[in-house]
Amino acid sequence: MERESSLLDDYVLSLTDSPRPRVCFLPTASGDADHYVVRFYRHFSASCDASHVSLFRRDQGAGGVEDDLETHLLAQDLIYVGGGNVVSMLGAWRAHGLDEVLRKAWRKGVVLCGPSAGSLCWFDEALSAFHGAPRSVRGLGLLPYSNCVHYDAEPDRRAEYHRFVGDGMRPGFAVEDGVALHFRRTRLKRVVSSRPGAGAYRVEPGGDGVVETRLKVAYLGPGPDDCEASDPASGSAAAAPAQLAQRRSSRASSAIAAAGPVTA
């Protein structure tokens, strides 16, 4: 839900393989901020069957789901997780059992995506600096890597991620704002961006410290065609990295992780 562009949203919706996808928004990381929910409906309701789940508000409002959250979420084509405080979000999900529901959705083939906290949550480990010093956060573990977002937006983020990886955090992927990593099952399939020139990186231990490899990124706006990414486990540069996502028709688990600005 970038303010200036719908390129990433359009890309994610295309992965559902549905003419009118069922899309559910989880604004948990923002404390279910009203303005974030309104923005979601403005972006998605015209072309999708849109709904949301609020864990903090008694009055769900129009489109809100209160009963049998598991059945509702497992019936979606796309689950969109908003940005905000990833630590608070994961705690709330675990308290309500949504962590296990989301793992079921992953196995079923629902497209999982989100910016910022909505990216960090899918990984085994993540670097978060929300309200304090950078810290390691244990995610849902769907993707066996670490993740760092806002790589170009916060001056110390790159150095801190290198430090954490050097100290034992899992090797992983860092993305600048407007860039999305597209995983199919646990393999990086593509990297896409709504911003020309924005970058994504594989970060892993090396012989002399930490090695950062820039990945090729496919700009989703007007320009040359993109290409497939190589296996991220190889540590080689990949062509066209993208967000986590998957087609329901193939039933293969996927997710879209984006670093887009925190909008809540």
Catalytic residue positions, numbered: 116, 150
Tell me the C-alpha distance between 36 and 42, whole Å: 10
Query: What residue has token string 């996808």?
Result: 21
Asked whether the beta carbons of 262 and 27 are under 8 A apart, the reply is no
E strands, the chain, in order: 22-26, 49-52, 78-81, 111-115, 123-128, 135-138, 143-148, 172-175, 179-184, 187-193, 200-206, 209-215, 218-219, 254-258
Asked if residues 119 and 147 have their Cβ atoms less than 8 Å apart, the reply is yes
Give me 131's structure tokens.
């309200």
Tokens of 256: 């879209």
Q: Residue for token digits 């028709």? A: 249
Neighbouring residues of 173: CB distance < 8 A, sequence distance ≥ 6: 145, 146, 147, 148, 181, 188, 200, 201, 202, 203, 215, 232, 241, 257
Kindly tell me the burial class for residue 69, based on how many C-beta atoms sit within 10 Å of its own C-beta (0-12, 13-18, 19 or more): middle
> Cβ(122)–Cβ(115) under 8 Å?
no
Neighbour tally for 45: CB within 10 Å: 14
